[in-house]
Amino acid sequence: MVEFKEDVSIVLGGAAGQGIQTVEEILTRVLKLSGYNVYANKEYMSRVRGGINTTEIRVSSKKVRAFVRRIDILIPFKRGVLPWVEKRLTENTVVLGEKENVEEEYLSRVNFVEVPLNEMAKEVGSPLYLNTIAAGVVVGLFHGDFEALEEYLRKRFGSKGEEVVLKNIEAARKGYELGVKLCEEGTIGIEVKRDENVKKEILLSGTEAVALGAVAGGMNFLSFYPMSPSTGVAVFSAQHAEDFEIIVEQVEDEIAAINMALGAWFAGARGMVTTSGGGFALMSEALSLAGMAENPVVIHLAQRPGPATGLPTRTMQGDLNLVLYSGHGEFPRIVLAPGSIEEAFYLTAEAFNLADKYQVPVIILTDQYFVDTYYNLPELDLSKIKVEKYIVESDEDYKRYKLTEDGISPRSIPGYGKGVVVANGNEHDEWGDITEDEELSRLMQEKRAIKKLETIRKNAMMPELVGREDAKYVIVAWGSTYHVIREALEVLNREDVAFLHFKWVYPLPEKVEGLLEGKVIIDIEQNVTAQFAELLKKEFGLEIHHKILKYDGRPFSVEEILDALKGVLE
């Protein structure tokens, strides 16, 4: 008998088009409704059918929010899955499924439990019920809430008619009973605590958090060109565009996308684009226009490995330098990188206030790992959302680029007030008209690149400190690695190791230096050249003592971080 306690990692693997996503959806929802904490993340190939895609679902007694390498229960839907996940198999791994889907050489390495999923599906009436049966088996292993499963199936297949619903419920029951039996006869033992409160919680993905945060922050115009892994934000926004009464437009290219977003802001709306590194590269011209014209804009960039098309469906934090230095000429920008789903929601909403207030591009950096992750969370507090608008009514002699102490000129919009608004991507005078005047050119450069930047820096958010301020070691990381590092630190359990997580990546507040001075700094990033470490060095002259880097297109796992930290710490 193989026993799992407190925390079980279940991986489903199969070809694209085999319905892995469906099983993932059923399991996460039904297990959460049964009172279990859940976490899910997927990895997939850049193809429509075939290949091998996997999904990891963690079911736990307490909140789980990070990717683990180990697989406790593996359900392969085709041959090739076991070799694909070979490095993640342990001596405890239970493989549930059919013999034909397991290569012989693995039979001795894993605990194979033969489950005739296909045969059971045929008994119900069609091989199509395979996914529902598999989901039923897993829910059964956890003695999950069968009513919730039934209700889910009704909702999901309701539009296909009563017969399909009933067949699916029958399939689910067969699977469920088998799952329960596997436990009762002692093949698999699972001990994970349930929590009544979890049942009422929200299950949300990184993608949904960004999209909902944007709408909460007043986004009413989204222009985009489809590109993995950023498209989900557009899909979600488009599907709710009528409820939100917003414009979501798929345009001819990324160049049009960002220019439209600029136009939307120029006219007073709140525009966003959602893209990935390759798309953002095309946007750099308009980013520069945003800088010069002091046109607010919000950009969501879901990173994937480059250069060029790189690994289109995989993850990396390789575009920090791109967003920091993209665009010709010198102008400020704000770079944000949420670490949790909650943070993605609040930070994306806040991005719109920041863009409006400082009249600069605000870039939200996520990545494939982050957008494709979801887990349960208690709730999102909508009362925390403050939509701050900074648009002023113009008078007759309105000056769009009035020189001010803090570098921020009051921004009016066409049609609001007695004046006209002239914005300009050429160097300009205070009214917005072209100038080649020496003095004005200098003043305008300083206004944008010095005064405004300093105003933003003064108001920048500090990183979150996890652990003790006087710890000898401090880990620095940004964005999506937050929970993986936190979980690794919990396991490590050392008081002399603290963690600074940067959700506000640029410009960095001056006080950051004080938190890092005299410490042994360990930089953790998912890129080859430690881009954030370079930024810290550039901004504060800080030497980074250790770098833990990963760049194979896969997310850091808790185990990897833990191993790497152990290697670095004395």
- Scanning residues 178 to 237, which ones bind another protein (CB under 8 A)? 200-204, 208, 212, 215-221, 223
β pairing state of 297-303 and 271-275: parallel
- Decide if residue 282 touches another protein (CB under 8 A): no
Give the Cα separation of 222 and 244 in Å (integer): 12
Tokens of 189: 């033992």
Of 130, 301, 362, 421, the one binding another protein (CB under 8 A) is 421
Q: How far is the CB of 216 from another protein (least distance, A)?
A: 5
Q: How far is the CB of 232 from another protein (least distance, A)?
A: 15
Of 107, 391, 491, 528, the one binding another protein (CB under 8 A) is 391
Tokens of 171: 């399939």
Give the Cα separation of 522 and 548 in Å (integer): 7
Of 2, 422, 443, 449, the one binding another protein (CB under 8 A) is 422
Contact 473, 498 (CB under 8 A): yes
Give the Cα separation of 73 and 139 in Å (integer): 13
Angstrom distances, CA of residue 349 to CA of 198, 227, 362, 505: 26, 22, 11, 17
Find residue 500's DSSP bridge partners.
465, 476
Handedness of CA 177, 178, 180, 184 (dihedral sign): positive
Q: Would you say 82 or 283 has its CB closer to another protein? A: 283
Angstrom distances, CA of residue 332 to CA of 33, 82, 141, 335, 506: 46, 49, 54, 10, 9
Tell which positions 18-57 bind another protein, by CB under 8 A.
29, 33
Q: In this structure, what are the phi and psi dihedrals at residue 334, rounded to the nearest 5 degrees? A: -120, 135
Total residues at interface with another protein (CB under 8 A): 80
Tell which positions 283-312 bind another protein, by CB under 8 A.
285-286, 289, 293
**Residue 365 exposure: Cα atoms within 13 Å on the Cβ side:** 29
Tell which positions 423-452 bind another protein, by CB under 8 A.
423-426, 428-429, 431-435
Q: Would you say 4 or 39 has its CB closer to another protein? A: 39
Q: Choose the stretch contacting another protein; rule: CB under 8 A; options: 7-15, 169-177, 258-266, 540-548.
A: 258-266
Contact 447, 423 (CB under 8 A): no
Q: Choose the stretch contacting another protein; rule: CB under 8 A; options: 73-81, 117-125, 306-314, 410-418.
A: 410-418
Question: Mask: binding to another protein, 345-384, rule CB under 8 A, as x and -?
Answer: ----------------------------------xx-x--
Q: Would you say 431 or 551 has its CB closer to another protein? A: 431
- Decide if residue 121 touches another protein (CB under 8 A): no
Tell which positions 136-175 bind another protein, by CB under 8 A.
151-152, 155-156
**Residue with tokens 């953002």, as numbered in its chain:** 280
Terminal-residue alpha carbon distance, the chain:
39
Contact 64, 39 (CB under 8 A): yes
Q: Would you say 39 or 152 has its CB closer to another protein? A: 152
Give the Cα separation of 352 and 297 in Å (integer): 8
Q: Would you say 219 or 542 has its CB closer to another protein? A: 219
Q: How far is the CB of 135 from another protein (least distance, A)?
A: 13
- Decide if residue 131 touches another protein (CB under 8 A): no
Q: Would you say 9 or 223 has its CB closer to another protein? A: 223
**Residue with tokens 């002692």, as numbered in its chain:** 186
Q: Choose the stretch contacting another protein; rule: CB under 8 A; options: 307-315, 420-428, 548-556, 561-569.
A: 420-428
- Decide if residue 508 touches another protein (CB under 8 A): no
Tell which positions 237-256 bind another protein, by CB under 8 A.
240-249, 251-253, 255-256
**Residue with tokens 């076991």, as numbered in its chain:** 82
Give the Cα separation of 502 and 474 in Å (integer): 13
- Decide if residue 415 touches another protein (CB under 8 A): yes
What kind and span of H or E run contains 154? helix 146-157
